[in-house]
Amino acid sequence: MWESGRVIAYEPNPRMLELLRDNVTMNWLSDRVEIVPKAAAAASGSLPFLAPSRYTMTGSLRPVEQLLETEDRVEALERLQVEAEPLDVHVDRFERIDLVKIDVEGAEEQVFAGMNQLLASGAVKRVSFEVARELMGDDWKPFADRLRRLASEGWEFCTITDAGEPEPISLDAIAERGRFSQVLMQRAA
């Protein structure tokens, strides 16, 4: 099945983009992986992006400087402008999308806002994302409201156990804890 699958990878950080391209090429996956050098966001345009020099994987569209630079984590932050687009640009492109994986360091609300049509289309089967309330700032309440709306539309939520199995979880438990490395959202069976 993997030979027929496709991956679309969004990466706005120029340093991480270079590593992603190298990794895809070195693993002979260029025919299956489409790299989009942009951020996934609510709308198309140019957005400010924090690009840490050491912890490059923690770059964010959110203003989270205080969380990236701490006493035990000295970090040089580069402030960039990056291009962005909503995932809804793919709404009629695929009949089926098995998984949308979101890892955006607090900008989850922006990504979800940019994929309303994609989720409504029925093509998306699962969405995996992090929950980090402290990174989301003012986006936390709209994000929690969005998850409640999605639940009312038939989406169910799970965490991933250490054994890699989905385990159902309530939205109240997600909101109460406010931090999960992975939440899996899938259509109710």
pLDDT in tens, 111-164: 999 999 999 999 999 999 999 998 899 999 999 999 999 999 999 999 988 898
Q: What values do phi and psi take at 8, rounded to 5?
A: -115, 115
Tell whether pTM > 0.85: yes
User: Helices in the chain by DSSP H: which ranges?
Assistant: 14-26, 65-68, 108-113, 116-120, 133-136, 140-152, 171-177
Q: How many domains does the chain have?
A: 1
Q: 169 is written with which tokens?
A: 């979880």
Closest among 125, 130, 127, 129 to 188, alpha carbons compared: 125
- Within 10 Å of residue 68's Cβ, how many Cβ atoms? 19
Can you give the CATH number for the domain in which 172 is found?
A: 3.40.50.150
Range of the structural domain that residue 125 is part of: 2-187
Q: Print pLDDT tens along the chain (189 aa).
A: 356 789 999 999 998 999 999 999 999 999 999 999 999 999 999 999 988 887 777 878 887 777 666 677 666 788 899 999 999 999 999 899 999 999 998 999 999 999 999 999 999 999 999 999 988 999 999 999 999 999 999 999 999 888 988 999 999 999 899 888 889 999 887
Asked whether 40 and 11 are in contact (CB, 8 A), the reply is no
CA distance 68 to 122: 37
Q: Three-class SS of residue 161? A: coil
Q: 46 is written with which tokens?
A: 């140019």
- Residue 16's pLDDT is 92
| CA quadruple 28, 29, 31, 34: dihedral sign | negative
